Amino acid sequence: MPVKRKPDQSIIEALNKAQRIAFGPVLFQAVRSALATGLLSHISEAQDTEDEAARACGLTAYAVGVLVDVLIAGDVLTKAADGKLALTKTGQCLLLDEMTRVNFNFTADVCYRGMDHLTEALTEGKPAGLKELGDWETIYPAISQLPHPARESWFAFDHYYSDRYFVMLAEELRDRLNPQTLFDVGGNTGKFAAACLKAMPQTRVTLIDLPQQCATACSNSILAPFADRFSAAEVDWLKPDCFPSVGHKADVIWMSQFLDCFSPEEAVSILQRCKPLLSERGRFAVLECLVDGQKFPAAGFSLAAVSLYFTTMANGNSRFYRRNDLLSVFKNAGLDVEYCRDNVGVSHTLYILKPTAAK
């Protein structure tokens, strides 16, 4: 991603931005405390003075005072001449915007303590921060076992960026590819499988994932009405010789935010192992977030930041792909892009892939 810098940036502007980075963790924790104590919520509703807000929230005047100072400096609050406090637009986003809340809680509950081990993760190629949540080699087998509130925040983050588009994407697969059989690789809790089963009454869906995720999906009540057309197959893709045991081939192999959980070499291996599972007319449908494929700077920044979650907390060697890097994965796996659609939902790109024709 090219570095963007204003050529006319003054030293004062540069110093201001540098101090925001230097004290960024302090501001983050101040916002976290203001949310946890109800201070931001109260100010949003009442626009009280500091003393009034302190009494309403059960805090001392000192506690409110130090929070207010840093939140004003951080453009979260304003104070009028009469001492009345109010939320800025940024403060309103932190309190009321669902995307901001999901991102904030994911950072606070899943990533924050682990990020202290980022340098170790970068130098060793392992998720060195994961030990702050539990004793696992990678986060994936442990998702359903994560401690509170990390588990809830992880699923809220995952679902926010996936679930809201599942119905639309299931209908798009139906209209574009009309599969009779579909494999949902990395299907997690089975929500996309359920969307496909509902949108395509003739389609059989097999969810392929780790044993823990398959067990979670099979116990998910949303799949119960489709028991005659739903199945699950266990696999550990990190074992190079491991293949899922399935009794038929797939017209569509679906992967949603799945390849970003693996290094490029691992992703190529997985795609190559999946290719023999395609039917004669089979296609891959891959949904990914591209760090350099975003319309809005906030989206690109968010994806770049979350890549460090993969580094420190998840597996130590994956990331959200840059476009050309993902295209290289497809090419190295022997796949051609048949269709591509950017700007799916908040930040996704959809690829339809077919095996490269033999020469």
Token couple for 33: 């405390």
How large is the average pLDDT for residues 116-129?
98
Per-residue exposure over 36-71, b if at least 16 CB sit within 10 Å of its own CB, e if not: ebebbebbeeeebbbebbbebbebeeebbeebbebb
Of the pLDDT bands very low, low, confident and very high (cuts 50, 70, 90), residue 7 is low
Q: Are 329 and 264 in contact (CB under 8 A)?
A: yes
In the predicted structure, residue 9 carries a pLDDT above the cut 90: no
DSSP conformation class of 358: P
How large is the average pLDDT for residues 140-146?
91
pLDDT in tens, 173-230: 999 999 999 999 999 889 999 999 999 999 999 999 999 899 989 999 999 999 999 9
Of the pLDDT bands very low, low, confident and very high (cuts 50, 70, 90), residue 165 is confident
In the predicted structure, residue 141 carries a pLDDT above the cut 70: yes
Of the pLDDT bands very low, low, confident and very high (cuts 50, 70, 90), residue 75 is very high
pLDDT score, position 162: 79
Hey, do 11-96 and 159-355 end up sharing a CATH topology, with the first three levels equal?
no
pLDDT in tens, 268-324: 999 999 999 999 999 999 999 999 999 999 999 999 999 999 999 999 999 999 999
Q: What is the residue extent of each domain of the chain? A: 11-96, 159-355
In the predicted structure, residue 94 carries a pLDDT above the cut 70: yes
Q: Does domain 159-355 have CATH number 3.40.50.150?
A: yes
More confident residue, 162 or 126: 126
Reported as type and span, the H/E element at residue 95 is: helix 89-96
pLDDT score, position 2: 54
Q: How far apart are the first and last CA of the chain?
A: 34
d(CA 30, CA 120): 27
Q: Does domain 11-96 have CATH number 1.10.10.10?
A: yes
Please, what is the average pLDDT of the chain?
95
pLDDT score, position 163: 78
Of the pLDDT bands very low, low, confident and very high (cuts 50, 70, 90), residue 5 is low
How large is the average pLDDT for residues 236-246?
93
